């Protein structure tokens, strides 16, 4: 029984890390309807940049992280301006393909600038482990969960109450109407990509401090797609709730299924969940079903 | 349209024929003087670039050293025909075709995946080759492919033997748990354990798998903890191993349970990533460390610092400098057999018969265990050293320990 | 299609013809002769590249039917190729089936797998479908790795050389003929799909599936059929690839391969028959070019950062995809059509 507590706690905390990356995806989808398939690679490049700042350049923590945020803002702006602006209004395959092309490009860029494939970040969070009953959880996960929740709260408020946030939601709903109202749509896209890049950077730093910087960050980005699908593509609440659900499914499901079935069952659980969601409730738990008319 | 139309169409036909003929022009290039050609498949770029680049640098620097300072093999230079496989199987397979076309005497690859992709074509054409990092499928059943270094199963076998002889003090069988990466690195260790555990007197009580992208293995380690093992062997790469070590410390499995790591993970990167959690952990590694006092250390350090100073400290550079020395020895034995004046008589088959199979206790500058060929066992070097992490440093505990040969082909579950 | 000036169509057969004028037939025959004489001229390495191009053309044609004609986004094509490759390998090595039977079986198995993972296409489209095909890819690879009694698990499985009517297809030369005969058949089949009722139904589904349903096109049937055909061709390509490499491992089939195929058909031109061919040739030759140039450049400019060769390939590929999407979204096939139109009209400019 004590294992169940351990599985649950590990699942929830790991899931919150997935949620953080998922928030970035949802932000871009909510504002511009673009699926950012380069998310994993963006997380990777920001983690490496953090490594570059903190380890290679040896800057102090606050300065290094500050530069990471600035870099991610710049990179988000650049991506939107150079690759997505020319494709406004194109069919969805083009948009997806351009993010795939970007993914390749960013991966190449990372290999170009940081040829190492594994690196460790300096300790950002304290190392001691916290005991909850018989279960243990490392502090890094709790910090990651806390930061995810905080960012979720900030984003929700922003989208609900601030002018720019409302404008973003309006743009996702109906671009033409928004343009007719005089809202600068391109500026909205730009802002949303910049914020999403910052979210990806934060997620990247947290994941890198837990597990080091490797190419695996890209695969964890893929797992956050399952969070996004489960939660609903345009719902922040969905992303925050679906993350722990996927984490629980992985750990509790994996924990009890593995001795019964195959040793590696845990890895494939998020993808099986995607397929099941597609069959049962394609728009996710909190997603909005688009109604199409001829 | 008339005549201009006909002229246009004629020029079109000529242009298309010219384009089709270009590959012919491309594929022909003249040769200079006599040289001994060796094909090298190296994953310089792509997903394995972090290992591939220092490996490529190591072997090419060594061949440069042999050509420039030692005068080649009895005065004949070694020509390294190297290609970047980008860790892609289709490329690696195709390069074997190219090596055979270009008249290479044999070929080498760096990774076991590259060799797995290349070995069918090589075996079908009796074209010998060896791979630096191997896995059991490459050399069992033994044909024309050899392994320079012991593989992941050998790591397990050597560690298990060391553990039984030096660490285990109880009566009866020790309980061992395995944590494996979900690829041949992990399955190599589990295959070896399946073949040898009973013979060595070890009981495998738990086997868990993980992915290279894992963030937390608390869940699988809880199950391992429940099985109450005495020793845990992790066969993986540095990053997931570091996660397992940290989680094991958090769960209280260590200190207490002895932990051993396979050679795929036991590098400085592991210690950097794991921090304190790596203290007291054992590991095996098949080569010496930088700065050890062995014969080839001086020249290797000199060339490394001069041509590729970024690679200093990288263990794969050492492994491939040794690869270069082994290449030279194979060629030397083959040239000795036909005579220096008859090198145009050299064929891949002669090189295999007298070069590969003639290897007998050759010492690659002390960089790794002695290289020999024995019938039925296509491993060239079979020894590893056991280390323990003490104070953030890898401290060697033994000299060269031979990993026992495992005849996988005798087991009907192998290759299933 | 655009015809040269002065050529008119008077019968339906003439209108539907692929090769309409005598000149086009002559060019076709010359091209086929030149293609099949390539093994006499090229060495083993370039023959290997050509074989790889042929195999990729088959797979890309399948993906083009799925995405270009029917509009169903599939990002898991490498997974379906893997299914075909493994099905072929298992049949040939464990059950010792003859080559043709194993190849067709591989295609059918891959097609059925594609059908299974394509079922969500009836409910969702666009990005949702893309994600479910990515999930399909990972599930397929996981099953291949775990079902070790059948597939050899992580160690992989060896593939004995194919044998047809006593001719062994172990060498690159023989494989060239085999692969390109199959490629020509596949391209002809794809062209025929495109110009008959099936192709028109696919295009209708792509352009507006609700309207197509209203017009009487059974969406369920046609979308699943597209998945089946696309993945059947992927299975055929997989079996040829299994024979070509000789040893299969799940690591050969990565998600990057899937993205590579998407890139190929986009660069080549979606929804055209010649698009996949142009795209595949372009991308494979680009890969070769990058491979051979970077050691040379590193030799000339030693001051380059050490990650140069590692990063160059993906960067170039990504850049090419993005540039094509921004500047020429209709791909090389469109450029080819413009070229044909311009030389037909020369010396007039329009």
Give the DSSP H/E element, type plus range, for residue B301. helix B297-307
Rounded to the nearest integer, the mean pLDDT of chain A is 86
Q: For residue B3, how many other CB atoms are within 10 A of its CB?
A: 7
CATH code for the domain in which residue B303 is found: 3.40.50.2300
Assess if residue B21 is contained within a domain.
no
Strands B203-210 and B145-147: unpaired
Report the pLDDT averaged over residues B205-223. Answer: 86
Rounded to the nearest integer, the mean pLDDT of chain B is 84
C175: DSSP letter:
H
Measure the CA dihedral B209/C252/B414/B132, to 10°. -90
CA B133 to the chain's CA centroid: 1
Per cent of chain C over pLDDT 90 is: 51
Q: Is the pLDDT of residue B4 over 80?
A: no
Q: Is the pLDDT of residue A70 over 90?
A: yes
pLDDT band of residue C69 (cuts 50, 70, 90) is very high
pLDDT band of residue C304 (cuts 50, 70, 90) is low
- pLDDT score at B19: 52
- pLDDT score at C144: 92
Assess if residue B10 is contained within a domain.
no
CA–CA separation, B333 vs B357, rounded Å? Answer: 10
CA–CA separation, A51 vs B191, rounded Å? Answer: 38
CA–CA separation, B68 vs B66, rounded Å? Answer: 6
- pLDDT score at B16: 52
Distance from CA of B45 to the nearest CA of C (A): 4
Residues C114, C75 contacting (CB under 8 angstroms): no
CA–CA separation, C84 vs C253, rounded Å? Answer: 11
Q: What is the pLDDT of residues A177-214, one digit of tens each?
A: 888 988 888 888 999 999 999 999 998 988 888 878 88
- pLDDT score at C271: 86
Q: Are residues B392 and B275 in the same domain?
A: yes
Q: Are residues B89 and B182 in the same domain?
A: no
Q: Are residues B193 and B317 in the same domain?
A: no
pLDDT band of residue B23 (cuts 50, 70, 90) is very low
Per cent of chain B over pLDDT 70 is: 90
Residue C47: CB partners within 8 Å, gap ≥ 6? B97, C38, C39, C172, C173, C176
Distance from CA of C159 to the nearest CA of B (A): 8
Which of B43-57, B152-166, C129-143, C222-236 is least confident?
B43-57
Q: Are residues B88 and B207 in the same domain?
A: no
Q: What is the pLDDT of residues B61-109, one digit of tens each?
A: 999 999 988 888 888 899 898 888 888 888 888 889 889 888 899 999 9
Q: Are residues B142 and B161 in the same domain?
A: no
CA–CA separation, B243 vs B216, rounded Å? Answer: 6
- pLDDT score at A200: 92
CA–CA separation, B174 vs B228, rounded Å? Answer: 10
- pLDDT score at B12: 57
CB contact under 8 A, C249 and B100: no
CB contact under 8 A, C128 and A268: no
Q: What is the pLDDT of residues C75-125, one digit of tens each?
A: 999 999 999 999 999 999 888 888 999 999 999 999 999 999 999 888 888
Report the pLDDT averaged over residues C311-322. Answer: 88
B304: DSSP letter:
H
Which one of C42, C154, C306 has the shortest CB-CB distance to B187?
C154
Q: For residue C80, how many other CB atoms are within 10 A of its CB?
A: 35
Residues of A in contact with B213 (CB under 8 A): 214, 216-217, 219-220
The SS3 call for residue B247 is: helix
Assess if residue C318 is contained within a domain.
no
Q: Are residues B395 and B335 in the same domain?
A: no
Question: Which of these, A71, C305, C332, lies nearest to B308 by C-alpha position?
Answer: C305
pLDDT band of residue C74 (cuts 50, 70, 90) is very high
Residues of C in contact with A90 (CB under 8 A): 325, 329
Residue count of chain B, please give it.
Answer: 416
CB contact under 8 A, A211 and B222: no
Q: Are residues B129 and B192 in the same domain?
A: no
Distances (CA, A) of C7 to A68, B122, C130, C182: 64, 55, 43, 32
Secondary structure of C252-303 as H, E, C letters: HCCHHHHHHHHHHHHHHCCCCCHHHHHHHHHHHHHHHHHHHHHHHHHHHCCC
Question: Which of these, B144, B159, B303, lies nearest to B231 by C-alpha position?
Answer: B159
Q: In angstroms, how far apart are the furthest CA atoms of chain C?
A: 67
Which one of A10, A127, A220 has the shortest CB-CB distance to B219?
A10
Write out the residue range of the structural domain in which residue C185 sits.
37-253
CB contact under 8 A, B276 and A127: yes
Residues B158, B403 contacting (CB under 8 angstroms): yes
CB contact under 8 A, A109 and C128: no
The SS3 call for residue C123 is: coil
Q: What is the pLDDT of residues C223-263, one digit of tens each?
A: 999 999 999 999 999 999 999 888 888 888 988 899 999 99
CB contact under 8 A, A278 and C120: yes
CA–CA separation, B86 vs B42, rounded Å? Answer: 8
Using CA coordinates, name the residue in chain B closest to A128: B250
Question: Which of these, A66, A57, A67, A43, lies nearest to A211 by C-alpha position?
Answer: A43
Using CA coordinates, name the residue in chain B closest to C314: B46
Considering the segment(s) A2-280 as one domain, its CATH architecture is: Orthogonal Bundle (1.10)
Q: Is the pLDDT of residue A55 over 60?
A: yes
Assess if residue C290 is contained within a domain.
no
Assess if residue C241 is contained within a domain.
yes
Q: What is the pLDDT of residues B337-358, one digit of tens each?
A: 888 888 888 888 989 888 888 8
Q: What is the pLDDT of residues A213-265, one digit of tens each?
A: 888 888 888 888 999 999 988 888 898 899 999 999 988 888 888 777 777 78
Give the DSSP H/E element, type plus range, for residue C157. strand C157-158
Distance from CA of A263 to the nearest CA of C (A): 8
The model's pTM? 0.88
- pLDDT score at B416: 43
CA–CA separation, B317 vs B313, rounded Å? Answer: 8
Q: What is the CA radius of gyration of chain B?
A: 24
Write out the residue range of the structural domain in which residue B249 sits.
152-285+386-410
CB contact under 8 A, A98 and C142: no
Residues C240, C89 contacting (CB under 8 angstroms): no
Assess if residue B168 is contained within a domain.
yes
List the chains bordering chain C where 3 or more Cβ pairs fall under 8 Å: A, B
Report the pLDDT averaged over residues B178-188. Answer: 86
Rounded to the nearest integer, the mean pLDDT of chain C is 88
Assess if residue B5 is contained within a domain.
no
Residues B288, B294 contacting (CB under 8 angstroms): yes
Omega before residue C347 within 30° of 0, cis: yes
pLDDT band of residue A1 (cuts 50, 70, 90) is low
The SS3 call for residue A115 is: coil
- pLDDT score at C146: 86
Question: Which of these, A285, A11, A25, A12, lies nearest to A155 by C-alpha position?
Answer: A25
Which one of A92, A98, A262 has the shortest CB-CB distance to C126?
A92
Residues of B in contact with C306 (CB under 8 A): 53, 308, 310
Using CA coordinates, name the residue in chain B closest to C148: B416
Q: Is the pLDDT of residue C188 over 60?
A: yes
pLDDT band of residue B32 (cuts 50, 70, 90) is low
DSSP B65-108: HHHHHS-TBTTBPEEEEEEE-TT-HHHHHHHHHHHHHTT-SEEE
- pLDDT score at C306: 63
Residue B119 has which token pair? Answer: 């070995």
Chain A interface residues (partner B, CB cutoff 8 A) = 3, 6-7, 10-11, 14, 17, 111, 115-118, 120, 123, 127, 129, 136, 138, 141, 207, 210-212, 214-217, 219-220, 250-251, 254-255, 258-259, 263-264, 266-267
CA–CA separation, C187 vs C168, rounded Å? Answer: 25
- pLDDT score at C89: 93
- Residue to mutate among A87, A89, A106, A112, with most C CBs inside 10 A, is A112
CB contact under 8 A, C247 and B120: yes
pLDDT band of residue B5 (cuts 50, 70, 90) is low
Q: Are residues B80 and B202 in the same domain?
A: no
Report the pLDDT averaged over residues A149-158. Answer: 88
Q: Is the pLDDT of residue B320 over 70?
A: yes
- Residue to mutate among B191, B218, B251, B266, with most A CBs inside 10 A, is B218
Assess if residue C177 is contained within a domain.
yes
Chain B interface residues (partner A, CB cutoff 8 A) = 45, 47, 49-51, 53, 180, 182, 207-209, 211-216, 218-220, 222-223, 226, 237-239, 242-243, 246, 250-252, 269, 272-273, 275-276
Domain count, chain C: 1
Q: Is the pLDDT of residue B27 over 60?
A: no
Q: What is the pLDDT of residues A158-179, one digit of tens each?
A: 888 988 888 888 887 777 888 8
Domain count, chain B: 2
Assess if residue C316 is contained within a domain.
no
Residues A230, A273 contacting (CB under 8 angstroms): yes
Strands B258-261 and B231-235: parallel
Q: What is the pLDDT of residues B241-266, one digit of tens each?
A: 988 998 898 888 888 899 999 988 88
CB contact under 8 A, C312 and A108: yes
**Looking at the DSSP assignment, which residues form a beta bridge with residue B178?**
B207, B233
- pLDDT score at C303: 65
Q: Are residues B344 and B393 in the same domain?
A: no
CA–CA separation, B370 vs B374, rounded Å? Answer: 12
Q: What is the CA radius of gyration of chain A?
A: 19
Q: Are residues B165 and B269 in the same domain?
A: yes
Per cent of chain A over pLDDT 70 is: 99
């Amino acid at each position: 029984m004590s294992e169940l507590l351990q599985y649950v706690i590990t699942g929830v905390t790991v899931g919150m890390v997935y949620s953080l990356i998922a928030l970035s995806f949802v932000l871009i989808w909510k504002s511009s309807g673009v699926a950012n398939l380069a998310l994993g690679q963006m997380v990777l490049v920001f983690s490496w940049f953090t490594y570059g700042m903190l380890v290679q350049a040896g800057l102090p923590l606050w300065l290094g992280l500050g530069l990471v945020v600035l870099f991610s803002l710049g990179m988000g702006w650049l991506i939107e301006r150079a690759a997505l602006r020319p494709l406004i209004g194109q069919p969805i395959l083009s948009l997806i393909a351009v993010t795939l092309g970007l993914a390749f490009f960013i991966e190449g860029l990372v290999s170009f600038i940081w040829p190492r494939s594994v690196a460790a970040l300096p300790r950002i969070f304290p190392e001691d482990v916290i005991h909850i009953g018989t279960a243990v959880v490392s502090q890094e996960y709790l910090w990651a969960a806390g930061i995810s929740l905080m960012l979720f709260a900030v984003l929700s408020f922003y989208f609900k109450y601030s002018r720019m946030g409302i404008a973003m939601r309006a743009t996702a709903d109906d671009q033409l109407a928004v343009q007719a109202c005089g809202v600068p749509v391109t500026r909205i896209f730009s802002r949303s990509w910049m914020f999403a890049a910052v979210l990806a950077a934060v997620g990247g730093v947290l994941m890198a401090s837990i597990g080091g910087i490797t190419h695996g960050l890209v695969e964890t980005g893929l797992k956050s797609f399952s969070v996004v699908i489960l939660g609903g593509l345009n719902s922040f609440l969905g992303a925050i709730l679906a993350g722990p659900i996927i984490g629980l499914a992985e750990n509790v499901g994996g924990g009890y299924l593995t001795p019964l079935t195959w040793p590696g069952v845990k890895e494939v659980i998020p993808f099986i969940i995607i397929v099941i969601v597609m069959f049962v409730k394609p728009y996710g738990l909190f997603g909005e079903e688009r109604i199409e008319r001829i | 349209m008339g005549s201009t139309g006909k002229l246009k169409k004629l020029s079109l036909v000529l242009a298309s024929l010219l384009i089709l003929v270009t590959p012919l022009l491309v594929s022909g290039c003249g040769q200079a003087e006599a040289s001994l050609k060796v094909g090298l498949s190296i994953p310089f770029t792509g997903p394995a670039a972090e290992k591939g680049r220092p490996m490529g640098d190591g072997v090419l620097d060594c061949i440069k050293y042999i050509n420039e300072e030692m005068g080649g093999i009895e005065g004949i230079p070694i020509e390294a025909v190297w290609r970047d496989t980008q860790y892609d199987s289709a490329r690696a397979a195709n390069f074997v075709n190219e090596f055979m076309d270009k008249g290479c005497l044999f070929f080498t690859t760096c990774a076991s995946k590259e060799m797995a992709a290349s070995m069918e074509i090589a075996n079908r054409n009796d074209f010998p080759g060896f791979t630096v990092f191997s896995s059991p499928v490459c050399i069992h059943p033994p044909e024309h492919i050899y392994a320079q270094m012991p593989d992941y199963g050998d790591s397990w076998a050597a560690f298990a033997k060391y553990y039984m002889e030096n660490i285990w003090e109880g009566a009866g069988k020790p309980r061992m748990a395995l944590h494996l990466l979900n690829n041949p690195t992990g399955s190599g260790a589990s295959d070896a354990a399946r073949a040898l555990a009973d013979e060595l007197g070890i009981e495998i009580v738990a086997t868990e798998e993980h992915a290279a992208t894992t963030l937390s293995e608390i869940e699988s380690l809880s199950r391992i903890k429940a099985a109450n093992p005495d020793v845990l062997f992790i066969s993986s790469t540095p990053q997931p191993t570091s996660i397992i070590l940290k989680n094991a410390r958090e769960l209280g499995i260590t200190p207490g349970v002895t932990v051993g790591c396979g050679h795929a993970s036991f590098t400085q990167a592991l210690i950097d990533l794991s921090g304190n959690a790596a203290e007291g952990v054992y590991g095996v590694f098949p080569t010496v460390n930088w700065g050890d006092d062995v014969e080839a250390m001086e020249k290797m350090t000199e060339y490394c610092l001069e041509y590729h100073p970024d690679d200093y400290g990288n263990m794969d550079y050492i492994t491939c400098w040794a690869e270069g020395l082994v290449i030279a020895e194979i060629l030397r034995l083959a040239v000795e057999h036909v005579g220096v004046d008859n090198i145009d008589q050299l064929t891949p088959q002669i090189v295999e018969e007298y070069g590969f199979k003639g290897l007998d206790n050759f010492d690659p500058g002390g960089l790794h265990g002695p290289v020999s060929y024995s019938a039925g066992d296509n491993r060239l070097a079979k020894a590893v050293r056991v280390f323990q992490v003490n104070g953030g440093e890898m401290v060697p505990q033994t000299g060269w320990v031979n990993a026992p040969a495992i005849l996988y082909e005798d087991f009907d579950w192998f290759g299933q | 299609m655009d015809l040269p000036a002065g050529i008119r169509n008077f019968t339906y057969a003439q209108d539907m013809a692929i090769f309409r004028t005598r000149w086009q037939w002559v060019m076709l025959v010359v091209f086929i002769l030149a293609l099949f004489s390539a093994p006499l001229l090229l060495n083993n390495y370039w023959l290997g590249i050509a074989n790889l191009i042929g195999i990729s053309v088959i797979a890309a044609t399948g993906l083009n039917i799925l995405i270009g004609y029917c509009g169903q986004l599939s990002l898991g094509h490498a997974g379906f190729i893997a299914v075909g490759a493994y099905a072929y390998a298992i049949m040939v090595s464990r059950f010792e089936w003859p080559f043709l039977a194993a190849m067709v079986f591989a295609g059918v198995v891959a097609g059925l797998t594609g059908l299974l993972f394509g079922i969500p296409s009836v409910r969702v489209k666009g990005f949702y479908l893309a994600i479910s095909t990515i999930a399909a890819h990972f599930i397929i690879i996981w099953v291949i790795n775990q079902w070790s009694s059948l597939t050899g698990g992580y160690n992989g499985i060896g593939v004995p050389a194919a044998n047809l009517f006593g001719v062994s297809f172990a060498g690159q030369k023989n494989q060239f003929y085999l692969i390109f005969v199959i490629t020509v058949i596949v391209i002809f089949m794809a062209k025929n799909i495109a110009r008959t009722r099936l192709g028109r139904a696919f295009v209708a589904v792509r352009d507006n599936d609700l309207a197509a349903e209203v017009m009487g096109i059974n969406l369920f049937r046609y979308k699943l059929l597209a998945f089946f055909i696309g993945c059947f061709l992927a299975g055929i390509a997989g079996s040829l690839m299994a024979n070509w490499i000789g040893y299969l491992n799940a690591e050969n089939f990565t998600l990057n391969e899937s993205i590579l195929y998407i890139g190929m058909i986009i660069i080549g031109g979606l929804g055209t028959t010649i698009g996949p061919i142009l795209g595949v040739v372009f991308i494979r030759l680009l890969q070769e070019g990058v491979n051979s140039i970077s050691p040379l450049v590193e030799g000339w400019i030693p001051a380059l950062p050490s990650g140069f060769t590692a990063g160059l390939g993906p960067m170039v590929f990504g850049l090419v995809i993005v540039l094509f999407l921004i500047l020429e979204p209709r791909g090389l096939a469109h450029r080819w059509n413009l070229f044909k139109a311009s030389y037909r009209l020369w010396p007039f400019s329009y």
